[in-house]
Amino acid sequence: MTRKKVKQPLTIQQKINRRTFISFGVFGALATGAALGYKWLYNAPTEGKTITGGARVPLRRALNKTELAMRRLFYSEKHLVKTYPKSMAAKIVRQNSDVGLESGIDLPTWKLEICKSNGQQLLISIDAIKALPKTEIVFDFKCVEGWDQIQYWGGLRFVDFVKHFNLDREAKLQYVGMETPDKKYFVGLDMDSAMHPQTILAYEMNGKPIPVNHGAPLRLIIPVKYGVKNLKRIGSITFASSRPRDYWAEKGYDYYLGL
């Protein structure tokens, strides 16, 4: 008679040992993976010069992917920022930082400078901008410093501006850069946000010409972004396929700064 070798069921102790062994194995593999991954990330080169040292390149790539995905989601839903009745707008508008506004401005001679992709430069007067259809918006303006206020602004939608001044070729690029006339304050914007239907080149605040400390004669009002991107006293606008310089991004803030 042949004795069949019966596989004995494992005892409780054996089961415990086995599980402990497996869990330690899995834990070990995960830990090693994480350590190697961290080492890889830690040794990866950084990108950009910021006070935080800039994100490691792989991390920056992941962040850029997330940003793109978020943007698609954001705009595919035709996301509009919440608006309010004019009666809710602040009568005394909060005034914040003034980089690039220290020098005086001669309003009658001011002209908006546009750098076209063919190297041509356009000089546009405030009257030419005011002659185009005006768009008004009452929205909650948000500063990263932690305050917000319902404000009422009026001006020319950036999309309308692009159409009117034949900047469609420029608008196919990925970024817009804006600077004050003295070039001391500057922002970079992704094209989708610049072309958002609520983004305006504003020349009115509470139905009157913008006061100097709020950015006369023309400022950016971009409700899909935090206050920092709402550049006061625009001097020039450029279009680019790479990120234009950005005052606060250079100091370590997130470049996108979307809401």
Ligand X SMILES: Nc1nc2c(c(=O)[nH]1)N[C@H]1C(S)=C(S)[C@@H](COP(=O)(O)O)O[C@H]1N2
Binding site for Mo ion (CB under 5 A): 143, 227-228
CA dihedral 188, 193, 196, 200 (to 10 degrees): -30
Is 259 a residue that touches ligand X (CB under 6 A)? no
Piece of the chain touching ligand X by CB under 6 A; list 89-97, 122-130, 153-161, 169-177: 89-97
CB 244 within 8 A of CB 231: no
Q: Nearer Cβ to ligand X, position 55 or 202?
A: 202
Q: Which of 46, 50, 83, 97 binds ligand X (CB under 6 A)?
A: 97
Residue 217 preceded by cis peptide, ω within 30? yes
Is 98 a residue that touches ligand X (CB under 6 A)? yes
Q: Nearer Cβ to ligand X, position 156 or 228?
A: 228
Question: To 5 degrees, how large is the angle CA 139–CA 186–CA 125?
Answer: 75
In the DSSP assignment, the letter for residue 217 is S
Question: By CB under 6 A, how many residues form the interface with ligand X?
Answer: 18
Is 230 a residue that touches ligand X (CB under 6 A)? yes
Q: Which of 180, 193, 199, 206 binds ligand X (CB under 6 A)?
A: 180
Nearest approach, Cβ of residue 222 and Mo ion (Å): 12
Q: Which of Mo ion, ligand X, none lies near 99, with the C-beta cut-off 5 to 8 A by kind?
A: ligand X
CA distance 243 to 257: 14
CB 107 within 8 A of CB 216: yes
Is 214 a residue that touches ligand X (CB under 6 A)? yes
Is 185 a residue that touches ligand X (CB under 6 A)? yes
| Token pair listed for 77 | 């839903």
Q: Nearer Cβ to ligand X, position 59 or 212?
A: 212
Give how far Cα 238 sits from Cα of 149, 170, 249, Å: 29, 9, 18
Is 96 a residue that touches ligand X (CB under 6 A)? yes
Nearest approach, Cβ of residue 124 and ligand X (Å): 19
| Token pair listed for 76 | 């595919």
Is 238 a residue that touches ligand X (CB under 6 A)? no
CA distance 187 to 206: 24
CB 243 within 8 A of CB 183: no
Residues in the site for ligand X, rule: CB under 6 A?
94-101, 143, 180, 185, 214, 227-228, 230-233
